[in-house]
Structure formats: structure tokens, C-alpha cells
Amino acid sequence: MDQTYSLIQTDCLLTVASWENRFIEGIEDLLCHITPKRIILFFSREYASQTLENRTRLAQLFHAQRIVLEEIELYINDPKISWRILVDSLGHIGADQTAVTIDISTMPREILWVLCHGLFNKGIDVQHIYHRPISYGDWLSRDPGRPRIVYKEGGIQHFGLPTSIVIVTGYDGERTMQLVRYFEPQKIYIGLQIGSQYKNEEMNRRKHEELLGKDSRVTFFDIDCYSFESTLNTLEKQISPLLGKANLLITSLGPKISALGLYAYKWLHEEIALVYAPSNEYNPEYSKGYQDRISGTVRMQNIGE
């Protein structure tokens, strides 16, 4: 699944610091194949101490390779402030840059969506890098917080239409249920990742079928969350017939590539509202090791064709 042959050279790499092995090992490997001039390393204030070791190690690596490093602090618990910081961080990316690289492996979805909003509207191609771990922990996240509409992504809601929610699921079933309980939709569309990788059948598919299988509002559909094109095409097929018939809420809790594809779908249909359920706790042993990477490029002139 390693797609190093498809990588393109870009001047700028955007990434978010994590304490995971795949974060540091993935970037070290990536820099053997591309040579950015500048790296913007975002990190959350809430997890600054957990990511300090990896950030220090990367700073030394970038210095040795004469890559300009810009560290930018974000506030995960304050989306409004983080939105402004993220938008400002893209200010230097102009007409002279046609593409950037984003390491989405450990990037919180709300950050990814804000960056995509800014880059898509500039017409800049996005090369996405997703570093897969060798394995995941027994649990990934828990204690979901209050769901929210993503800042500046509220869509267009029409009076009198029913509400439907589309959730591309992950391994935290309670996060899915938190969204369902909070928004109380008339219809629920649940995207289930295909395949048996990382105990997906047990930790994702079976869990959600047990939680929601008896709910008459629910429609399940299969989706390949490790493919941008497949995610986008599946959503077009499954969800587009609902446009104009319901107020649509949409989110991804699955692999980050699905979050990218889902945003591209929402970007094409501005009436859809993007929503999110944050987690208050993440496993310190979230993942182990670094296995390989999946990469691709979202070419703006091709979206929607």
C-alpha cells in the first residue's frame, strides 16, 4: 500500500504533532522522498507536554536538513480561536504555490477541515499523506464531549424539512451515539468501513450494528475510508438523493482519509452542515509503530467531475 512513487514535491508541509510513533517515524521516512522548504507544525496547548519529545526530535531533524520550521500553538477546546490561527497560517500560501502537502495521520478532523476550506478556496491542490500504524490500542478515545457544528461550516438549513445525519463511523461507538442523541435526526445514515484490518469487523461494524441495528431510522452503507476517491463517490451515490429533501448533517469519525473525502463532498454541496463530536480522552497507547503510508493528491480542477 506504500505509494511513494506517486509523491509530488511541494514547498510546504503541514502537520499536527502527536505523541504516537507513527507521527515521528512517518515524517522521518517522508523526508527521504520529498524535500519541503518549510514545515508548519501545529500542536495543541492541551497536549503540549505529551508531544514535546516528538516536537523536539523533529526540530533537530529539520535544522539538520535546513528546513524552515514554524511551530504554531492551537487550542483544541476553543475552535473559534483555532480557526483564526489556522486561517492566518495559510496567509503566506499564494498564487505562486499550486500544491501543498498535508500529513493527516494524527491531525484532528476540525483542523483538517479548516485547512481544507482555506486551501480549496485558494484553488490549491492538496497532497495528503496518511501514515498507518502497525496496530491500534484496545481503545482509542472515550468520554465524548458535546457535539457541535464545525465553526463556519453550518450549511443552509431549510424550515420545514426533516433532519438527517450521515456518520462515517470509527471505533468509538459512544461518539456516534452522542451525535444521534444530541441532534435527534429523523433519519440516520451510518457508513461502515469495509475490510477486517485493525479488527474492524469487531470494533466498528459489529459494534455499530449492535448499537443501532434495531433503530428504524437507520440505514447502513459500506464505505472504503482509506480511499479519497471511494469516499467521495460513495457519498455522492448514497447521500446526494437526499439533497433538497432534508437538512443534512454530516461527519466522519473514521480514518482521516474519509474525513478528507467527506469534506470535499460537503464543499461541493454548501447546504450541508458539517458537525463533530469531540472526545475528552485519548489513549496514551493510541497506536504502535509505523507500517506504511497511503498518499494521493486532491486536484481542485477534478473535484466534482
Using alpha carbons only, what angle is made at residue 291 by residues 135 and 260, rounded to the nearest 5 degrees?
A: 85
| Same domain for 239 and 127 | no
CA–CA gap between residue 111 and residue 117 (Å, rounded): 10
* One domain, residues 152 and 92: no
Which backbone phi and psi does 199 adopt, to 5 degrees?
60, 35
In this structure, what is the dihedral angle of CA atoms 113, 114, 118, 124, given to the nearest 10 degrees? -40
pLDDT at 4: 42
**Together in a domain, 13 and 122:** yes
Calculate ∠ Cα 250-276-120, nearest 5°.
Answer: 65
Same domain, 264 and 293: no
Task: Specify whether 155 is located in the same domain as 208.
Answer: yes
> How far is Cα 190 from Cα 217, in angstroms, rounded to an integer?
10
The per-residue pLDDT for 139 is 53
Q: Does residue 159 share a domain with residue 65?
A: no
Q: Which pLDDT value is given to residue 42?
A: 97
Residue 1's pLDDT is: 37
Quick check: is 264 in a domain?
yes
What's the number of domains the chain is made of?
2
Q: Do both 12 and 113 map to the same domain?
A: yes
- CATH number for the domain harbouring residue 197: 3.40.50
Domain range enclosing 209: 141-282
Strand 218-223: give its sheet, edge to edge.
148-149, 273-276, 247-252, 163-168, 187-193, 218-223
DSSP codes, the chain: ---GGG----SEEEEE--SSHHHHHHHHHHTTT---SEEEEEEEGGGHHHHHHHHHHHHHHHHHTT-EEEEEEE-TT-HHHHHHHHHHHTTT--TT--EEEEE-TT--HHHHHHHHHHHHHTT-EEEEEEEEPSEE-S--EEEE---EEPTT------TTPPEEEEEE--S-HHHHHHHHHHH--SEEEEEEE-S-GGGHIIIIIIHHHHHHTT-TTEEEEEE-TT-HHHHHHHHHHHHGGGBTTBEEEEEE-S-HHHHHHHHHHHHH-TTSEEEE--EEEE-TT-EES--EEEEEEE-GGGTT-
Q: Does one domain contain both 294 and 246?
A: no
> Does residue 246 fall inside a structural domain?
yes
Cell 437507520, located at residue: 218
**201 and 106 share one domain:** no
- What pLDDT was estimated at residue 2? 40
305 within domain boundaries: no
Report if residue 161 sits inside a domain: yes
For residue 258 the three cell numbers come to 474519509
CA distances from 7 to 4, 30, 100, 283 (A): 6, 9, 11, 31
Confidence at residue 5, expressed as pLDDT on a 0 to 100 scale: 46
pLDDT for 98: 87
304 domain residue, yes or no? no
**Residues 152 and 51 placed together within one structural domain of the fold:** no
**Is residue 251 a contact partner of residue 279, using CB atoms and an 8 Å limit?**
no
- Residue pair 30/95 in contact by the 8 Å Cβ criterion: no
Identity of the amino acid at 77:
N
| Whether 249 and 290 share a structural domain | no
In a domain, 180, yes or no: yes
241 within some domain? yes
* CATH code where residue 76 lies: 3.40.50.11700
Cβ atoms of 226 and 255 within 8 Å: the answer is: yes
What residues pair up with 279 in beta bridges, in sequence order? 144
In this structure, the number of other CB atoms found within 10 A of the CB of residue 195 comes to: 13
**Whether residues 124 and 171 fall in one domain:** no
Q: Average pLDDT for consecutive 10-residue bins of the chain (305 residues)?
A: 65 94 93 93 94 94 93 92 94 81 94 95 94 76 82 92 95 91 97 82 85 95 93 95 96 94 96 91 73 91 70
Residue 51 lies in a domain: yes
21-30 helix and 48-64 helix, angle to the nearest 10 degrees: 20
Give the β-pairing of 141-144 and 247-252: unpaired
